[in-house]
Chains A and B, each alone.
Chain A
């Protein structure tokens, strides 16, 4: 059975006329890296909040359908239990800092203090996750003194230290520069390689193409496409509906129009695929 199981999930915010999610059915396997793409207002963040339990336990509104993660039914669980299974990180690294801790080390330990982990174990787990996320050298710095990329890695470490089974990320690199983006993706890649299930909303399709096992496209609260990055990210239909294309796909499409890309070669989504495709064109 899939670790994450959504059956016909719909959700409408209070006072909203149209549903933000409309009949979403989705399964995610243990250890899978699923990317969610879509234009603004597609329901991506709402889906993240639903997976992380904040809908319906934090945001009220009308949720129908079934959300099940690791055998737990969202409707029958409370948020305190749910956050131990599903970790959530989102766009703004600044607002993910608690504001009650002076150092990065204390900041990362915050979640473990809340669930009553003994002090010695807190220190072991914090040391371990700091090494894994590459923030050990920031341990005694104020979380507010860090760059955006560093803050986002601290936010990730603060969630990962709680050892969730599923990590939900809502555009974690949208406010970061290329260096910060690379740092954050390296952490996510490392965690994914260790078997963590990752569900990530992301606009930077080059990165999605590089890391995701599967991509889901949302439009107006509905799932409009699902498949491998190569299938979804080169779709004509999605491009016509405001979905971003990888710069490699765009170059190859333009090249194809001018006969510089072989028609039997699939459009690329990663740099390596583009290099291979152009090489074949030259042969």
Chain B
């Protein structure tokens, strides 16, 4: 199977067709709501909304694959650590040696883990369903500096390239006799010969890439055009305003609850 060279999965779907800014606002709205909402179930519900959206965007296989391999282990680790070591107390459910698991800790850890899950999974879904050129062109068209838009987009694009490059360096170093598998100590020892060429090589490429894009008038002050047609329908605009209002509403509810709790 050919190696994927970008996060973006070209598919025909409602989410793919949506304007990039609408999707970006959806991501930030989801994150803000999950962090601001006072209820435990909000973030958990948003996790499942993201899963549904992955199916709507027809990227469920790739989405669940990344979530399973990348996100769940990290969030699971975070949940366990916080469950054992946060100082919220409450009813003790389990204890072993110096470790103690309490209901209060579990509740807070669950909320934190859910929020992190929502934040990362929203971005995963966004980059799977958004063409990088569309994002860059749309942001630039709306007045975001082209340099900033480029940095965002190229960063997303460069991660799969870095992975490919890292694999090449690993193969090259192995062919020179470097052992990259085995005990923890051996793996740590192999890290420097792998990371060094990757980091320094990338730094050299940054300057060359800067020259390459300047040679193609990237910093030109002329108004930019776009090869791709980026849709921005009435539904997009309604969705954006709806999301902004929803965020305002959740923030207002949170403030109101905070004020009433102080009375």
Contacts and interface: CB of A to CB of B under 8 A. Distances in A.
B133 A101 contact: yes
Interface in B132-164: 132-133, 136-137, 146, 150, 153-154, 157-158, 161, 164
What band does the interface of chain B fall in when counting residues whose beta carbon is under 8 Å from A? 35 or more
Contacts of A99: 154, 157-158, 161, 209
A115 B8 contact: no
Contacts of B131: 102
Interface stretch (B93-101, B105-113, B210-218): B210-218
Interface stretch (A63-71, A118-126, A225-233, A243-251): A118-126
Contact of A100 (B136, B219, B222): B136
Contacts of A84: 217
A111 B208 CA distance: 16
Contacts of B154: 98-100
Interface in A86-107: 87-90, 92, 94-102, 105-106
A11 interface: no
Contacts of B210: 58
B220 A114 contact: yes
B37 interface: no
Contacts of B133: 100-102, 106
A80 interface: yes
A122 B209 contact: no
Contacts of B205: 92, 94-95
Contacts of B192: none
A155 interface: yes
Given A102-B8, A102-B131, A114 B218 contact: yes
Contacts of A9: none
Interface in B192-241: 204-205, 208-229
B6 interface: yes
Contacts of A98: 154, 209, 212-213, 216
Residue among A52, A100, A116 with the most chain B CB within 10 A? Answer: A100
A96 B222 contact: no
A142 B227 contact: no
Contacts of B157: 99-100
A261 interface: no
Contacts of A155: 212
Interface of A: 52, 54, 58, 79-80, 83-84, 87-90, 92, 94-102, 105-106, 109-119, 122-123, 126, 142, 144-145, 155, 158-159, 162
28 contacts: A54-B214, A58-B210, A80-B219, A80-B221, A84-B217, A89-B215, A92-B208, A94-B205, A95-B205, A95-B208, A95-B212, A96-B212, A98-B212, A99-B209, A101-B133, A102-B10, A106-B228, A113-B226, A113-B227, A114-B146, A114-B217, A116-B225, A118-B225, A119-B225, A119-B226, A122-B225, A122-B227, A144-B164
